[in-house]
Amino acid sequence: MTNPQANRAEKITTLRDAARFWEPRRLFYNLILTAIVLLWLVLTWPHFRPSLTLGSFESFAVLAFLANLSYSAAYLAEIFLQLLSPSSSRRRARTALLALGTLLAIVLANYWIADEIYPAANNPPRPVIGGMSHPGPVTHFVET
């Protein structure tokens, strides 16, 4: 018969161990993605200049949230790592998963910027919070 208290303590230790590995590396992941965004802005500055509005910063915040949510998918992979790999090789498997996940994030960030954001850079989004950054075109209708 298994001891429920020991089982619970083992699960908490396992979760703590996973968090101790993944959470300090989240900063590294975010710094890499931030560097990519800053490089795109600096290297193509004249193109992105009209797009830096309140609305674009809101979009940056949403994309940063999605990047961090994607990073949290490592915890789902952690479940499989704990089930399939012995604890002696788990650190190597985690490091490989971190490297592959970070490379995937780099590829997706560059693709998203090059394919979705760069072409639309001269048509900045309107802010969702804080009203409109510019009133937009004004059209007057004249009745004849």
**Whole-Å CA distances, 13 to 20, 39, 94:** 10, 40, 17
Tell me, yes or no, whether 137 lies in a domain: no
Query: 144 in a domain, yes or no?
Result: no
**Domain extent for 54:** 4-117
In a domain, 128, yes or no: no
Give a yes or no: residue 102 inside a domain: yes
Q: What is the dihedral of CA 29, 34, 36, 38, to 10 degrees?
A: -170
For 79-122, how does the pLDDT look when each residue is reduced to its tens digit (9 = 90+)? Answer: 888 888 888 888 899 999 999 999 999 999 999 999 888 887 77
> 40 lies in a domain?
yes
Task: Judge whether 18 lies within some domain.
Answer: yes
Q: Has residue 20 been placed in a domain?
A: yes
Considering the chain, what percentage of its residues have pLDDT values greater than 70?
79
Number of domains into which the chain is organized? 1
Asked if residue 133 is part of any domain, the answer here is no
pLDDT at 104: 96
